[in-house]
């Protein structure tokens, strides 16, 4: 087993990236993810790897684009407004089929918003925040341990599918400290990348592009991408369930909200309400089939999220009319409390009887 | 009688005819880059970063690894490539809109970091691919699609002089402006490109060559007149010559 | 003894921009009278014996369409 340490979530992401064999990190200061950039500034050069504080988030994602094209593992991180700036680059990564890891430590929006934790970038992350028909894999940790583990997984999935992968987290998870067990041993070597541009020595020149002007070519690219997304959907859905076996009310939440939902569900159980929690870990692909199965046994669903109701749309798409779906949401950096959620559970429990 | 070629199409240029308009300087500079790559014997180590603009399809003509970049982000992409592949020859190829408008921040900061890359800047004073709009380097008074009455300094600002601007930074190793105004200008351009490629190979750092370049279509003249536009009109605004050599500023 | 040069213009690449014609110091080249399959008046050699091998045409040509050959092995002149 690896070392057990106490770390902030942001540092745990950084250490995960280092252990995953991240070759280059490019960042730009923005709260609440600054600890991560500082962690990389400290640890990447010490290991002979690349760290650049870029001139902007736009430059940072394009440095990632270059490093990914060169066949090396690259990561950038930011928080909501900075992630908005990276969307063009993410679309280019998707179009050019380049692997990369992007970490969004979400904060309140819209606009400059505030620096409180938020989950209001869900749509941007899972519906494709940039232009064009594309998806990125989105992983949502709910603990410092998962900040570490899912970052490592993000690098593996990015390489496996030649696609950008986002770790979608928030300022609370980024800045809280928890004990975690660090991954042990060297990460498995990245796959061969015969497509990389690294000098056409003894082979035909490689070309990395996302521009296809000849009629029909771009549609062919899109067809290939959609097939890839179908493969990812088949293989990479991840979720966690708690007390779903007999649950009457199913809470659905990810990340920080899931921690709150779990707390409220435990208290509800103690009060005799049969509550369970379904936590999507991959937000795209969304584990909708399992949720639909659970919806056939639960009487109600309560979605808890730190937004005006974004995750709830995917929940409704998954469960259809099988069961009523309600929202316990907070906006603009507000965080639902366990007692708020518990109160909703009590009300729904009474209402349904 | 035996014959020997004293000039032939460089190996690093593919066989594909280029899509540029007749007389366009892009073809000339592609050719020069390919010649320098051949002369230096670095075809298998060279990585080109193509811009958004007329030269976005440059990769069809270059027989070495090439990638695209988003509009203006070429120096950031080049940085991302070069930092993880320091033994390769990485150059960014950019037009005036790409380099001096939308990509100004990336241009300045890559130069300021002294990235060990080579930047070939095609300044033809106009946007080509989108249809002849005003560029940051459009000459004062020059008519374009978006400055139909001529570029007016009062509302549009004067043309941006990139060599002069970059020369205020400490880290660049070589900064030079040349003009494709005739065969002698072409030779100077070839030599300048070779200089910055060799500087990169030798780990000397950031090299920048601005090439004043014909765009007969949107400079609104014939190819032959375009040479004069470049050599006379453009060179009057953008003085030719060395600005930085061996990391030292050259006094004007 | 003056050496003999030959200028070869590849009509696959020539776009008839006429730059080679304009820069040739010896009027070796001219705009072709016949059109190519692309409908272009490809440049052609009209005074081959006047060529001094200065490479002005091959340097200015944006299409790398021009090849210049010299009799012998070309060793003594670059």
Tokens of A259: 């921690």
Element counts in chain C: helices (H) and strands (E): 2, 4
Integer Cα distance of A250 and A278 in angstroms: 7
Q: Do chains C and A touch (3 or more CB pairs under 8 A)?
A: no
Q: B60: nearest CA in chain A?
A: A207
Domain termination site, one of A235, A266, A301: A235
Write out chain A in H/E/C secondary structure.
Answer: CCCEEEEEHHHHHHHHHHHCCCCEEEECCCCCCHHHHHHHHHHHHHCCCEEEECCCHHHHHHHHHHHHHCCCCEEEEECHHHHHHCHHHHHHHHHHCCCEEEEEEEECCCCCCCCCECCCCHHHHHCCCCCCCCCCEEECCCCHHHHHHHHHHHHHHHHHHCCEEEEEEEHHHHHCEEEEECCCCCCCCCCCCCCCCCCCCCCCCCEECCCCCCCCHHHHHHHHHHHHHHHHHHHCCCEEEECCCCCCEEEECCHHHHHHHHHHHHHHHHCCCCEEEEEECEEECCCHHHHHHHHCCCCEEEEEECCCCCHHHHHHHHHCCCCCEEEEECCCCCCCCHHHHHHHHHHHHHHCC
Integer Cα distance of A110 and A182 in angstroms: 35
Residues A163 and A274 in one domain: no
Q: Is the pLDDT of residue C77 over 60?
A: no
Mean pLDDT over each residue of chain C, to the nearest integer: 89
B191: CB partners within 8 A, 6+ apart: none
Of B1, B10, B25, the CB nearest to C71: B1
User: Per residue in A113-145, pLDDT tens?
Assistant: 999 999 999 999 999 899 999 999 999 999 999
Domain termination site, one of A185, A212, A235: A235
Work out the pLDDT band at A343, boundaries 50, 70, 90: very high
Q: In terms of DSSP bridges, do strands B241-245 and B174-179 run parallel, antiparallel, or are they unpaired? A: antiparallel
A83-87, A264-268, C29-33, range with the lowest pLDDT: C29-33
Of B57, B81, B108, the CB nearest to A66: B81
User: Per residue in B221-252, pLDDT tens?
Assistant: 999 999 999 999 999 999 999 999 999 999 76
Mean pLDDT over each residue of chain A, to the nearest integer: 97
CA-nearest of A275, A271, A273, A272 to A262 is A275
Q: Do chains B and C touch (3 or more CB pairs under 8 A)?
A: yes
Residues A218 and A265 in one domain: no
Size (chain B), residues: 252
Phi, psi of A81 (to 5 degrees): -60, -35
A114: CB partners within 8 A, 6+ apart: A107, A108, A332, A333
Please indicate, yes or no, if residue C48 is contained in any of the structural domains: yes
Tokens of B220: 């609104």
Contact predicate B139/B203, CB 8 Å: no
**Which residues of chain B from 2 to 21 reach within 8 Å of chain C, CB to CB?**
2-10, 13, 17-18, 20-21
Integer Cα distance of A41 and B167 in angstroms: 29
User: Per residue in A195-224, pLDDT tens?
Assistant: 999 999 999 999 999 999 999 999 999 999
Residues A200 and A283 in one domain: no
Give the closest-approach CA distance of B57 to chain C in angstroms.
15
Work out the pLDDT band at C74, boundaries 50, 70, 90: low
Count of domains observed in chain A: 2
Please report residues of B whose CB lies closer than 8 A to that of A75: none
pLDDT at B67: 97
If you compute the radius of gyration of chain C from its CA atoms, what whole number of angstroms results?
12
Please report residues of A whose CB lies closer than 8 A to that of B68: 92, 96, 208-211
Size (chain A), residues: 353
C26: CB partners within 8 A, 6+ apart: C47, C50, C51, C52
pLDDT at C78: 44
User: Per residue in A95-119, pLDDT tens?
Assistant: 999 999 999 999 999 999 999 999 9
Q: How many CB atoms lie within 10 A of CB A305?
A: 29
Q: What is the DSSP letter of B231?
A: I
Q: What is the mean pLDDT of residues A275-281?
A: 98
CA-nearest of B24, B84, B90 to B57 is B24
Residues A206 and A257 in one domain: no
Per-residue pLDDT of chain B (252 residues; tens, 9 = 90+): 688 999 999 999 999 999 999 999 999 999 999 999 999 999 999 999 999 989 889 999 999 999 999 999 999 999 999 999 999 999 999 999 999 999 999 999 999 999 999 999 999 999 999 999 999 999 999 999 999 999 999 999 999 999 999 999 999 999 999 999 999 999 999 999 999 999 999 999 999 999 999 999 999 999 999 999 999 999 999 999 999 999 999 976
User: Per residue in A291-327, pLDDT tens?
Assistant: 999 999 999 999 999 999 999 999 999 999 989 999 9
Domain containing A92 — which CATH number? Answer: 3.40.50.970
pLDDT at C75: 59
Whether residues A206 and B65 touch (CB distance < 8 A) is answered with: yes
Work out the pLDDT band at A351, boundaries 50, 70, 90: confident
Q: Which domain holds residue C65?
A: 5-70
Q: What is the mean pLDDT of residues A254-278?
A: 98
pLDDT at A61: 98
User: Per residue in A140-193, pLDDT tens?
Assistant: 999 999 999 999 999 999 999 999 999 999 999 999 999 999 999 778 899 999
Tokens of A247: 């649950």
Residues A141 and A170 in one domain: yes
Residue with tokens 């991408």: A225
Please report residues of C whose CB lies closer than 8 A to that of B1: 4, 71-72
Of C12, C64, C69, the CB nearest to B6: C69
Residue with tokens 């230096």: B40
Domain containing A345 — which CATH number? Answer: 3.40.50.920
**Interaxial angle between packed helices A288-295 and A311-319, expressed in degrees from 0 to 180 and rounded to the nearest 10:** 60
Q: What is the mean pLDDT of residues A59-63?
A: 98
Domain containing C42 — which CATH number? Answer: 3.30.70.20
Of B66, B80, B85, the CB nearest to A198: B85
Count of domains observed in chain C: 1
Q: What is the DSSP letter of B170?
A: S
Please report residues of B whose CB lies closer than 8 A to that of A96: 67-68
Q: Which domain holds residue A315?
A: 240-351
Q: What is the DSSP letter of C26?
A: T
Contact predicate C3/C74, CB 8 Å: no
pLDDT at B102: 97
Residues A217 and A294 in one domain: no
Work out the pLDDT band at C72, boundaries 50, 70, 90: confident
Residues A212 and A91 in one domain: yes
Integer Cα distance of B235 and B248 in angstroms: 23
Q: Do chains B and A touch (3 or more CB pairs under 8 A)?
A: yes
A92 touches chain B (CB under 8 A): yes
Q: B16: nearest CA in chain C?
A: C13
**Which residues of chain A from 55 to 74 reach within 8 Å of chain B, CB to CB?**
55-56, 58-60, 62-70, 72, 74
Whether residues B78 and A67 touch (CB distance < 8 A) is answered with: no
Residues A41 and A159 in one domain: yes
Please report residues of C whose CB lies closer than 8 A to that of B216: 17
Please indicate, yes or no, if residue C78 is contained in any of the structural domains: no
pLDDT at B2: 84
Integer Cα distance of B67 and B65 in angstroms: 7
A227: CB partners within 8 A, 6+ apart: none
Q: How many CB atoms lie within 10 A of CB A235?
A: 11
CB–CB contacts below 8 A, B to C: 101
Question: What burial class does residue A10 get, using C-beta atoms within 10 Å of its C-beta: 0-12 exposed, 13-18 middle, 19+ buried?
Answer: buried
Pick among 3.30.200.20, 3.40.50.970, 3.30.70.260, 2.60.120.260: CATH of B25-249: 3.40.50.970
Q: B23: nearest CA in chain C?
A: C17
Q: pLDDT > 70: what percent of chain A? A: 99
Whether residues B6 and C70 touch (CB distance < 8 A) is answered with: yes
Please indicate, yes or no, if residue C54 is contained in any of the structural domains: yes
Contact predicate A306/A117, CB 8 Å: yes
How far is the CA of C64 from the CAs of B8, B60, B65, C48, C53, in angstroms?
8, 15, 20, 19, 16
Give the closest-approach CA distance of B156 to chain C in angstroms.
32
A202 touches chain B (CB under 8 A): yes
pLDDT at A352: 64
Integer Cα distance of A38 and A36 in angstroms: 5
Whether residues A92 and B70 touch (CB distance < 8 A) is answered with: yes
Q: What is the mean pLDDT of residues C24-46?
A: 89
Integer Cα distance of B32 and B183 in angstroms: 12
pLDDT at B8: 97
Domain termination site, one of A235, A252, A273: A235
Q: In terms of DSSP bridges, do strands B65-68 and B46-50 run parallel, antiparallel, or are they unpaired? A: parallel
Residues A171 and A246 in one domain: no
Residues A112 and A127 in one domain: yes
């Amino acid at each position: 087993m690896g070392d057990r340490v106490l770390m902030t979530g942001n540092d745990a992401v950084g250490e995960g990236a280092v252990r995953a064999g991240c070759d280059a990190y490019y960042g730009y200061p923005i709260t609440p993810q600054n600890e991560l950039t500082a962690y990389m500034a400290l640890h990447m050069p010490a290991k002979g790897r690349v760290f650049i504080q870029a001139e902007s988030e736009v430059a940072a994602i394009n440095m990632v684009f270059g490093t990914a094209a060169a066949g090396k593992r690259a990561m950038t991180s930011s928080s909501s407004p900075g992630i908005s700036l990276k969307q063009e680059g993410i679309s280019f990564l998707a179009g050019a089929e380049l692997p990369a890891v992007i970490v969004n430590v979400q904060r309140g929006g819209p606009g400059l918003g505030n620096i409180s934790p938020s989950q209001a970038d869900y749509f941007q992350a899972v519906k494709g925040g940039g232009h064009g028909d594309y998806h990125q894999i989105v992983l949502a940790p709910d603990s410092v341990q998962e900040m570490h583990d899912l970052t490592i997984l993000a690098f593996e999935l990015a390489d496996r599918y030649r696609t950008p992968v986002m770790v979608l987290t928030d300022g609370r998870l980024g800045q809280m400290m928890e004990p975690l067990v660090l991954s042990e041993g060297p990460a498995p070597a990245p796959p061969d990348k015969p497509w990389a541009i690294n000098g056409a020595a003894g082979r035909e020149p490689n070309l990395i592009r996302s521009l296809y002007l000849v009629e029909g070519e771009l549609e062919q690219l899109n067809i290939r991408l959609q097939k890839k997304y179908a493969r990812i959907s088949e293989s990479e859905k991840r979720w966690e369930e708690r007390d779903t076996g007999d649950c009457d009310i199913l809470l659905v939440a990810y990340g920080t909200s899931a921690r709150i939902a779990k707390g409220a569900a435990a208290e509800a159980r103690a009060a005799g309400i049969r509550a369970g929690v379904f936590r999507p870990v991959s937000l795209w692909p969304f584990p909708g089939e399992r949720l639909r199965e659970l919806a056939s046994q639960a009487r109600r669903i309560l979605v808890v999220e730190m937004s005006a109701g974004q995750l709830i749309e995917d929940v409704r798409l998954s469960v259809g009319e099988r069961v009523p779906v309600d929202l316990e949401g907070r906006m603009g950096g507000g965080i639902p409390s366990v007692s708020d959620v518990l109160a909703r559970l009590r009300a729904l429990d009474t209402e349904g009887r | 009688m035996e014959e020997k070629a004293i000039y032939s199409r460089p190996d690093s240029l593919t066989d594909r005819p280029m899509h540029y308009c007749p007389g366009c300087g892009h073809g000339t500079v592609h050719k020069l880059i390919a010649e320098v790559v051949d002369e230096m014997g670095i075809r298998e180590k060279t990585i080109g970063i193509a811009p958004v603009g007329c030269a976005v399809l440059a990769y069809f003509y270059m027989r070495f690894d090439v990638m695209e970049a988003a509009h203006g982000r070429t120096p950031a992409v080049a940085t991302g490539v070069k930092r993880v592949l320091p033994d390769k020859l990485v150059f960014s190829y950019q037009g005036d809109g790409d380099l001096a408008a939308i990509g100004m921040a990336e241009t300045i900061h890559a130069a300021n970091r002294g990235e060990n890359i080579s930047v070939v800047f095609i300044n033809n004073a106009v946007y080509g691919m989108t249809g002849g709009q005003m560029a940051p380097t459009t000459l004062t008074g020059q008519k374009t699609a978006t400055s139909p009455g001529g570029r007016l300094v009062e509302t549009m600002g004067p043309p941006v002089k990139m060599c002069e601007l970059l020369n205020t930074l400490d880290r660049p190793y070589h900064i030079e402006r040349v003009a494709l105004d005739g065969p002698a200008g072409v030779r100077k351009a070839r030599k300048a490109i070779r200089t910055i490629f060799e500087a990169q190979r030798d780990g000397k750092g950031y090299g920048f060559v601005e090439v004043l370049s014909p765009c007969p279509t949107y400079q609104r003249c014939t190819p032959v007149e375009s040479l004069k536009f470049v050599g006379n009109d453009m060179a009057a605004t953008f003085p030719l010559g060395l600005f930085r050599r061996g990391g030292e500023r050259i006094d004007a | 003894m003056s050496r003999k040069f030959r200028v070869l213009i590849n009509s696959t690449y020539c776009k008839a921009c006429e730059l080679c014609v304009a820069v040739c110091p010896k009027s070796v080249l001219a705009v072709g009278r016949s059109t190519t399959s692309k409908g272009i008046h490809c440049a052609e050699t009209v005074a081959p014996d006047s060529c001094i091998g200065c490479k002005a045409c091959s340097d200015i040509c944006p299409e790398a369409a021009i090849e210049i050959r010299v009799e012998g092995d070309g060793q003594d002149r670059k």
